[in-house]
Structure 1
Amino acid sequence: MQRHLVGPPDPISHLRPIIYDDVPPPPAPAVVNHPYSLQEFDPEPARISNTYEMQWKLQRQQLDDTSQDFWLNSNTRFETAKEAVLASLPPGSTPLDKENALSEFYKQWLLQESARVDEYSKIWRALNWANIVLAARVKYSRFPAGLFKSTQKS
């Protein structure tokens, strides 16, 4: 049974990372004393049963990384620009002055970023669909094995 975990939100991107429990652990560092690695291959069968499954897990992580990178960059630039707008106001600015300046800033930000967000959305959708297709291939590749197991129990 898989138990993926959801981590706390990133303070800048505001995305909650998913911690997958089905990712193979990194190989333990080994001291090589022999010209041929005697422990090169794990004697236990791999948890990843096929190429599609490995590709799906890598692509799933790529999708998460793409989202994290985009929103981290976008929110960092947004906060920097917002602070610059607030810093440009005279010291005696009223709350209404700040509200008007921020309102104009938000409007300009949305216009400025629309092409970038559209491009990100296009990439995200393509990666997500590819991920769904790979997940379906993984399930489909497991189907005959699951069918065989269920007939053995009877």
Structure 2
Amino acid sequence: MFQPRPPLRPLSARFLHVSRPLCDHVGPPHPISNMRPMIYDEDAPASTQRAYHPYSLHEFDPEPASPYKLQWKLQRQQLDEFHHTFWLESNTRFERGKQEALSRLPETATALDKERALSEFYRQWVEQEDRRTGEYTEEWRQRNRSSLILASRVAYQKFTARFSDIVLFKKKSA
């Protein structure tokens, strides 16, 4: 059965169209830190970007250079590295402490003795790490806020650039 084609979009709407979706990926978890690394869309290899569009759009940057874009990218990478480093170091110390707690038990220790020793270790660990984890959390939140501010600036510049393209196009065609 014949179905009519949808009406063509006005040319101005084409300026707002994104030719390929942004698609950040998450890698496998690190064996010690348990953090899953982010692979951001703009950092993905060109071979994966080619699959989004039939033309070679990956060779061109469709957006004008933004003074905040590079700063935001670097800040995200630093935040991810800060997060990973904290948990890598924390989990390494945790496992070392856990093994030390278990090694203090005699070879004849029962499962209940091991459970009690681990329970005491966990209690001490939480108390010992409370201040350190709180400081990490505050630092992470502060860095995350500044990253969000930069992200909003990048998005605003992108929006204004596209809006000005539409206005300029209408003036030229009038």
Q: 1:17 aligns with which of 22, 33, 37?
A: 37
Higher helix share: 2
Do structure 1's residue 101 and structure 2's residue 111 form an aligned pair? Answer: no
Q: 1:49 aligns with which of 62, 65, 68?
A: 65
Do structure 1's residue 68 and structure 2's residue 88 form an aligned pair? Answer: no
CA contact (8 A) 1:6 1:17 kept: yes
Secondary structure at the residue paired with 1:51?
Answer: coil
Q: 2:94 and 2:61 mapped to 1: Cα distance?
A: 48
What residue number does 1:6 align with?
A: 26
| Aligned amino acid, residue 18 of structure 1 | M
Q: 2:131 and 2:139 mapped to 1: Cα distance?
A: 12
CA contact (8 A) 1:4 1:20 kept: yes
Q: CA RMSD in A?
A: 2.2
What residue number does 2:75 align with?
A: 59
Q: 1:115 aligns with which of 120, 131, 141?
A: 131
Measured after TM superposition, the shift of residue 3 of structure 1 is 2.1
Do structure 1's residue 87 and structure 2's residue 107 form an aligned pair? Answer: no
Q: Give CA-to-partner distance per residue, 1:5-52, whole Å, 9 cap, x none.
A: 100000100010001131398xxxxxxxxxxxxxxxxxx779771121
Q: How many residues align?
A: 136
Do structure 1's residue 143 and structure 2's residue 159 form an aligned pair? Answer: yes
104-113 vs 141-150, which moves further: 141-150
Find runs of 4+ consecutive structure 1 residues off by over 2 angstroms. 44-48, 148-154
Q: 1:63 and 1:45 mapped to 2: Cα distance?
A: 25
Distance 1:4 1:90, change over 3 A: same
- Please give the TM-score of this superposition, normalised by the length of structure 1: 0.81
Identity of aligned residues (%): 49
Distance 1:67 1:48, change over 3 A: farther
Larger Rg: 2
Measured after TM superposition, the shift of residue 119 of structure 1 is 0.6
Distance 1:87 1:45, change over 3 A: same
Runs of 5+ unmatched residues, structure 1: 26-43
Q: 1:144 and 1:46 mapped to 2: Cα distance?
A: 14
